[in-house]
Every structure is written in C-alpha cells, then in structure tokens.
Structure 1
Amino acid sequence: MTARRHHPLLIPGLLLLVFAAAFGSILLGAVAISPARIVAVLSGGGDAIARAIILDLRLPRMALGLIVGAMLGVSGAALQGYLRNPLAEPSVLGASNAAALGAVCALYFGFAQMHPVVLPVLAILTALIAIGALFLLSGTAESPLTLILAGIAVATLAGAGISLSLNLSPNPFAAMEIMSWLMGSLENRSYAHVWIALPCVAIGATLLLADGRMLDALTLGEEGAQALGVNLSSARLRMMLGVAIGVGGAVAVSGAIGFVGLIVPHLVRPLTDRSPSAVLLPSLLGGAALLTLADIGVRLIPTSNELKLGVVTALLGVPVFLLHLMRERRLW
C-alpha cells in the first residue's frame, strides 16, 4: 500500500492510536495502578498485587481487544469491497451467528464445563460448517447477491437455533449464561483464549489482506474482474474461509460483538482513495483501536455490574455512524 493511496498520516496515526489504546488498557481499570508500577511489572519486577492484576487480568484482555477488533475491522472492509455493499459486515455471511450458535450449544449442553477451550473450538467448527452450507446454497453462482441471500439463510437458521436454545433452556441460570455470552465481553479472559483466537485471526486476516487486488478488480463488476484475470471462484473461497476462520475464532472468545466491522471502514475510507484494497489495513488497525478503547470504557463507567462490550459498541457506534452518513451524504 503506497502513501498516495491514503492520507500520509493515516497509518502512523492509527498505529499511535493502537499503542495508546493498548497502554490505556493496561493502565486503566477498577483498581488504579501507577505507570511506575506498570513499568516495574513489565520489566520483571513489581509487587505481587500489581503483577496479578496486570499479567493475569489486563494483559490478556488487552491482547484480545486488539486481536478481535482487528479481525472485525478488516473483515468488514473486505466484505464491503467484495459484496460492493456499504452495509456489509461479518454477520452478512452468517459466520458470526454460526459461531455464536456453536458457543451457545457448548453452554446449553454443558460442554463448556469440561475445558475452557471447548466453547471456542465448537464455535469455530460451526462457523466452518456455515461456510460449507454457503457453498451448497450458493452453488457455482459468482454473483455477490447470491452469496448475500445464502448468508441471510444461514444467519437466520443459526439465529433460530440460538432462540430455540434460550426457549428450551433447562433453568434460568443457563439462560442467563447464554444471554451474557451473546452480549459480548472480554472480561475474565485468559492467555488460553488469546492462543485460541490468535492463529485463527492471523490466518483469516492474511487471507483477506492478500485479496486486495481482487477487491479492486471487482469494482469493475464480475465480467471486468474476469477480464483482468481474477478467478472469482477461488477468490470467493478465500474470502469465505478468511471470514469463517478469523471471525469464528474472534467471536468464539469474545462473544457476539457487533457494529465494529460496519463502522470502522466508513471512518477510515474518507482518508483513502476509496479503493477497497486501500481500506483493508487501516480498518484492521482502526478496529483494534476502537474495540480496545470501548473495552476501556466498559471498565471505567460506574455501574454495579460491568457493562457488556457488545452493548457499548452498539450504543456508541450507531450515533457515530449516523453522524458520519449525514456528513458524507453519499452511499459509498
């Protein structure tokens, strides 16, 4: 990506914002810890209380905020470019809903009690199954509209499964646990969750970032992209696998967190030449910063119980999105 394709300060500014959000995630929380104590802990020293809070609680939470936010941001940008739809986001292919269904099944049947990794692994598997269902439903059609309709069908079916599990929940405590997970949160996450999400997000983000040329070619339409030598079937496979593996792994450890994949590409696009490939990396960085900052917010807002991250991203995101649309006065 060259400097001419976006504002020269966009990438440096986003990197600075990511580092600031990461440090803020370690610094801020219910318990005040001075920067000096943080530096002491990160350098291998520090008192036992500070070490427990920073190393066992805040560091994995910060890492997951960056990882999950980055995946949601880049997947939203890639899908908006591939489907040529400014309202596209990870849930449009049903991957998020399917991953949520897998996690809900783990909670409903008690599999999550066996081991902490069971829930995310099952969520990732159901996301991959959803992608297989997309292939069966969309067939060999290369039109984005066919893929969108198939994704709606998969997402609706997964949503029905989630509603059914809540309706048939054996006790109110199980229903509360399911509802709590569906609202999304990074609270009480460990390094095990980081190592589950990281390889999935790395694979998914790599597949999506590598398709920048294909996304640019698709702005000319399917026939124009094929004339430029783009294999649409192979491109669709890479896109769906990237979304399924990356978003499935992210949702598996964070719960259902919406809106990040929708709003971040719209925020960074005005600072680029608006080509789909130019939006990918800024959306990855912007998503990481946005979700980490939102997670800091849920910790600082004074409430009896910590707010759920998915609720906060929706409440804060909708006004920002509406203001952005009013300022832009354009569809894309």
Structure 2
Amino acid sequence: MKSRHLIALVGLVILAVLANLLVSRDGLLLGAFGDLLRGEESLGTRILAELRFPRAILGALVGAGLGASGAALQGFFRNPLADPGIVGVSASSGLGAVIALYFGLAGISLLMIPMAAALGGLVGVGFLLLLAGRRASSTTLILSGVAVSAVASSMTALLMNLSPNPWALAEIAYWLMGSLADANWNEVRFAAPLILAGTTLLVLVRNDLDPLSLGEETARSLGVNLPWLRLAIVLGSALAVGGGVAVAGAIGFIGLVVPHLLRPFVASRPAALLLPSALGGAALLSLADVGTRLLSGPGIPLYLGVLTALLGAPFFVWLVRSTQGRAP
C-alpha cells in the first residue's frame, strides 16, 4: 500500500473514533469535549470519560481484530469468502457467554460474561486443533471449523430453548445480537490484551502468506513452516476475535468486507493486507457503532451486529456472484 493511502486510512480511523466519541442526537458531547480539554467537570464530561471513551476504544479494537483476522484467514485459506467465523471462534465464544448468562454467573462479577466468552473461544480452538490434527490441510481445517461452529450453535440454541424464563431468553438473544452500548473501562482492560496479542501474532507471520498463495508445496519449498503457520493463524485469530466477541457479542461481516475493500490497494498481496485491514476494520466498526446510535428509535435500540449483518449480507451476495463469474 502506498504511503498516501496508509496515511488516509489512519486519518479515517481517527475521524471514525472521534465521531464515535462525540456524535449524539442532541449535540451535548461536542461542548462537553471542550470542557474536558479545559479541565472543567460537567454531566457531559462524565459521559465522555465513563461511557464514550471506553466505547470508542473498544469499537476500534474489536474492529481491528476482526479486520486483521479476516485478512489473515483469507490469505491462509486462499479463499476470498473466508472470515473469522470459519474457525468456529465466534460461535464458541458466544456459547461461553450464553452459558454464563443461563446460569446467572453475571451476578458474581461484571467480567464473568467476557471471561466465559473468552474461555469458550479457547475451548473451541482446542477442539478445532484436536479435530483437525497436527498435519491437517486447509480443507480439513475449514471442515473442522464448520463442525465446531455447528456444535457450538446447536448448544447455544439448546440453552435458549431451555431458558427458565422470557427475561433470561431475551438477555441471551440481545447479547448475541452484538452491541457496545454497555462498554466500560473494565472491558477495555480485559479485551485489549487479547485482541492486541492476537493481532500481533498475525502480523508476525504475515510474510509467510505470500509464498502460501502459490500453493502449499511451493510454500514448503520456500521454507515456510506450515504447521507453525497454521497454529499461529488459528491462535492469533482466536485471540483477536474471541477478545472482541467477549465484550461486544457476535459481530459479523467486518472480517469479510474490509479485506476485499482494501485488497486492490495492496496489489492483492496477503502479507501487505493485514495492517490496512486492521485499520479499516477499526474505522468501519466505529462508523457502524455511530450508525446504531443515530438509527435507534426511542426505546428500540438497533444492535451493532444487526447493522453489520444488514450491510454485509448484500456485499456477501455480490461477492459470491462475482466469484462465480470469474470461475472457469
């Protein structure tokens, strides 16, 4: 990616985060931001410091993790339709959170749901690696991820079916829709290390993705350690995606859409796509979060996962059709 494109992308991230921080229906926070810079205290500055800042930071972090994971998985599987959900982390993390909600563990600590979601994601990855085996091919890994997602989704549906009352069912359903509305500094401190560690691991192995685009045999002949690369991609994606799901719920399509939007700017090189995709994911999710606030009606919130699905599903349909059109 040319330096001017990268600078423009960084600028877009900054603008998107500022919009997520300051945009509101009544314009109160615009004045409060000035008060905050001057050291004055008011209702608006408290809202900024305790609610909007952690929400804006989490939005950027979760989006960056999803974007980087999507680019890494598309490069590893050499499949433009791959996204973070393909390894089963999203469904497994969702199951962990649903278990915590079902058994009322949230009453013990506000961090019980994120912790259960993160643990669920790690268990799902362990099951995936055990099911696929040490020398699994990309196809076997994809099928194993689909199996993990199916098991986790079926267990989630079972717990929702057995939910003891309508309020518990509603709480589970709303969490699964994905939202940053309840973001706080404890969640930032919990999720940031996971997302940053996962994204860093993906960035460290990104240079092996270019040889892999020529095929596994060619990559081996060029010195790529495929078992290590496979483990690094799966664990990196698990940490980056699982950390995001733990605090924001299930948010789809960011990891699918962002790499495709940015691929033309990096000459379709998988290694060069990771960092731009992380920045693009941060910008897109931040702007989507702004959209949820502006489009929500009185007492009827629009959930973040719903909005990203509404935006991403038509893109996915177009992508499938265009991929068919290029097939021989």
Percent identical pairs in the alignment equals 47
CA contact (8 A) 1:264 1:287 kept: yes
Tell me the residue number matched to 1:299: 293
Shift of 1:295: 0.3
What is the 5 A alignment of 1:1-332? Answer: 6-33=1-28, 35-41=30-36, 43=37, 45-304=39-298, 305-322=300-317, 330=326
Shift of 1:153: 0.6
Supply the distance in 2 between the matched residues of 1:120 and 1:26 (Cα, whole angstroms). 23
When residues 326 and 142 of structure 1 are mapped into structure 2, their CA distance, relative to the original with a 3 A threshold, is: closer
SS class of match (1:122): helix
Shift of 1:97: 0.4
Shift of 1:82: 0.4
Supply the distance in 1 between the matched residues of 2:296 and 2:107 (Cα, whole angstroms). 31
Q: Name the Cα RMSD after superposition.
A: 1.7
CA contact (8 A) 2:23 2:29 kept: no
CA contact (8 A) 1:95 1:127 kept: yes
Shift of 1:237: 1.1
Supply the distance in 1 between the matched residues of 2:25 and 2:182 (Cα, whole angstroms). 14
SS class of match (1:9): helix
Deviation sequence 1:225-248 (CA, Å, 0-9, x none): 111111111111111111111211
Shift of 1:221: 1.2
Deviation sequence 1:198-250 (CA, Å, 0-9, x none): 00001000011111111111112111111111111111111111111121111
Supply the distance in 2 between the matched residues of 1:89 and 1:327 (Cα, whole angstroms). 17
Shift of 1:319: 3.2
Shift of 1:320: 4.2
**Aligned letter for 1:27?**
L
When residues 92 and 222 of structure 1 are mapped into structure 2, their CA distance, relative to the original with a 3 A threshold, is: same
Shift of 1:27: 1.3
Supply the distance in 1 between the matched residues of 2:296 and 2:122 (Cα, whole angstroms). 39
Supply the distance in 2 between the matched residues of 1:211 and 1:44 (Cα, whole angstroms). 44
Deviates more, 1:212-221 or 1:156-165: 212-221
Supply the distance in 1 between the matched residues of 2:320 and 2:31 (Cα, whole angstroms). 43
Tell me the residue number matched to 1:3: none
CA contact (8 A) 2:262 2:276 kept: yes
TM-score by length of 1: 0.94
Shift of 1:52: 1.5
Shift of 1:25: 1.1
Supply the distance in 2 between the matched residues of 1:63 and 1:322 (Cα, whole angstroms). 31
**Aligned letter for 2:76?**
Y
CA contact (8 A) 2:68 2:277 kept: yes
When residues 158 and 14 of structure 1 are mapped into structure 2, their CA distance, relative to the original with a 3 A threshold, is: same
CA contact (8 A) 2:23 2:30 kept: no
**Aligned letter for 1:316?**
L
CA contact (8 A) 2:178 2:304 kept: yes
In structure 1, list runs of 5 or more residues that go unmatched.
Answer: 1-5
Deviates more, 1:247-256 or 1:220-229: 220-229
Supply the distance in 1 between the matched residues of 2:258 and 2:190 (Cα, whole angstroms). 24
State the number of aligned residues.
325
In structure 2, list runs of 5 or more residues that go unmatched.
Answer: none
Deviation sequence 1:20-50 (CA, Å, 0-9, x none): 0111112112442253430321x25234211
